[in-house]
Structure 1
């Protein structure tokens, strides 16, 4: 198995200590239950504290204040953070609000945009979300209908974004819209949008399978956005958004590995401590075979991810492999966690139990960042039309 660097291993140990010394006691004090939405004020305090510890920006390149890790190391850090066993794991690395969402924009953003938007996000002063999906634009992301009409020194944005992760607590959106000039479509463009501006409404009165509080809709009604907030060139937004899709798909995988690994650890603990018919259920072949299969499948999924990450670090083209990773890992980890629920029996069905939440959250992973069906399309194209 490919191993992370000593630098990454040291970082992982620091994150584990942070979780054990600060995050888990915080969860206990606040009475946080798995699947419940943490208070927004708590999240903002956590982002700040994580930033102070050097974790919030860890996924950025060194020149931007990050750890400058290889992709193999990034995978190891992400997996270990989830495996630490805290429901707040994604917030430690800023994955739903912070630098991982905007790091690639430093290359195209203006100095003004870096000062007004990117740097405040990296300091955990502001939270950001990425708003592309609409009710009729999901797998076909290019079909979005939100418009941006040029009006002097501003664009007027109108439309609605759907199922946007992090929208509930975001201050800024990196938002994609169809640019129109003189009544004619000009392609898809990307903008920094102040979500507190007049005409913007964030609706988060619904929950997804993983619970409430982390997803919402963004409704725009003739929102005035300065031309200076246009990211890159007009009409280049879709290319900008898709430019990191290969790496993003790969980097979703260690999160799923951590979820499945945590479910396996909890299942082993439960099987050893839960007794039926006078002995631990780990002694029953039906149970220990499930655990054996879970461990085997997790090892296979990890091997695929870390081999692909190493290939990327070596300069290889992993467009097809990244989709293979996303497909296999999302399907396999869901199967692993499904069996974790089975091992736990009734306890695994109760809301507030980590295995119950992991089951719901892992089911979402087969849809997010490209459905399994879209991944199969990409894989087939890469094999048949290289």
Structure 2
């Protein structure tokens, strides 16, 4: 995937990550008996973050001024696809996708020097983890309907409310919490607040597991939680703008993970078709199997091409709203179809709980919902093509 990226510095990073996964990450998972559906010990995660930071991978998406390598969006896509295709369960933690620099990269410009030093530099160094807390029990796609509040009380803010399905919350040290700071406005004024998750009044609960089996989401409740007013992130009333500033690139950067997972299932199906013997020979000789593999290869190539073009537009500074929505919609649906065919080719093996292809199938199904449902993406695309001026 993305084999035409040949810049020497990028190639060195890519090769280094591949060596790290092969020589350190896979042996670590085997040594500890880790799989995707058991809670990962926090110390193990922090060990991966620190090692990745030490090797220069963890902050690779950031500019050099912040200790990163200034990788382009397209180069980041290539690395994320590689990691997902590796089949390792800790792959998302190598680049910090679940709580590291990619979570905050394009928002760092809003941080004060004090916030940068206290909160974000430790994230960049792999010492702390964060999460982005927007979704609430009654507020999913309708982000402006959140109810969590931040009330000013002298030099402090008092946080009350609850957040739901927050990715990375189980192992986060602090959250970027979207709060209503003035409900009298229409729409309500929303601000972002940095909240340490070990403060009195904060409760992080793990009462559900998504269909992927991963313990990566949690709810967060805030009851009269006091934080310094200096923890207001991005200025009063800029929370929604700050949150939306990350959404288009964030949607795009989920796509190479889907591509990598689907590629993993395709490779597994290809190997299985070549080796599984039925009726006196490998099942790969049957046209029905060949056509499924051909459809899978075609879909993966289309997804890779779409991701590459959208990433190139992002790197050029183009407006991504419609393109990122189209990419997320297309890639999530096609990659799920690839995984579905991989399950079919594997037969009974493919529907056995815990098989790598079965696990990838469940994970890919989630991507049609997380970070914006397919229906929301279609709404965004429809608005753009029906009212391009209004966009």
Q: Same fold (TM over 0.5)?
A: yes
1:229 positional shift: 0.4
Work out the CA distance in 2 between the residues paired with 1:374 and 1:181: 25
Selected match of 1:310 from 312, 323, 327: 312
Q: Is the 8 A contact 2:144 2:187 kept in 1?
A: no
Who is 1:3 aligned against? 4
Structure 1 residue matching 2:158: 3-state secondary structure: strand
- Summarize the Cα distance change of 1:101–1:255 in structure 2 as closer, same or farther, 3 Å threshold: same
1:62 positional shift: 2.0
Number of paired residues? 386
Work out the CA distance in 2 between the residues paired with 1:221 and 1:170: 18
Selected match of 2:334 from 332, 335, 338: 332
Who is 1:293 aligned against? 295
Work out the CA distance in 1 between the residues paired with 2:17 and 2:126: 18
1:296 positional shift: 0.5
Structure 1 residue matching 2:126: 3-state secondary structure: coil
RMSD: 1.8
| TM-score normalised by length of structure 1 | 0.96
Q: Is the 8 A contact 2:99 2:129 kept in 1?
A: yes
Structure 2 residue matching 1:102: 3-state secondary structure: helix
Work out the CA distance in 2 between the residues paired with 1:165 and 1:189: 20
- Summarize the Cα distance change of 1:205–1:315 in structure 2 as closer, same or farther, 3 Å threshold: closer
1:250-261 paired onto structure 2 within 5 Å? 250-261=252-263
Question: Is there any run of 5+ residues in structure 2 with no aligned partner, and where?
Answer: none
Who is 1:341 aligned against? 343
Question: Is there any run of 5+ residues in structure 1 with no aligned partner, and where?
Answer: none
1:301 positional shift: 1.1
Deviation string for 1:144-200 (max 9, x for gaps)? 001111111111111110000111011100110111499999610001100000000
Q: Is the 8 A contact 1:37 1:211 kept in 2?
A: no
Who is 2:324 aligned against? 322
Work out the CA distance in 1 between the residues paired with 2:319 and 2:89: 34
Work out the CA distance in 2 between the residues paired with 1:199 and 1:89: 33
1:59-74 paired onto structure 2 within 5 Å? 59-74=61-76
1:312 positional shift: 2.4
1:1-386 paired onto structure 2 within 5 Å? 3-6=4-7, 7-180=9-182, 187-386=189-388
Q: Is the 8 A contact 1:206 1:212 kept in 2?
A: no
Work out the CA distance in 2 between the residues paired with 1:34 and 1:223: 33
| TM-score normalised by length of structure 2 | 0.95
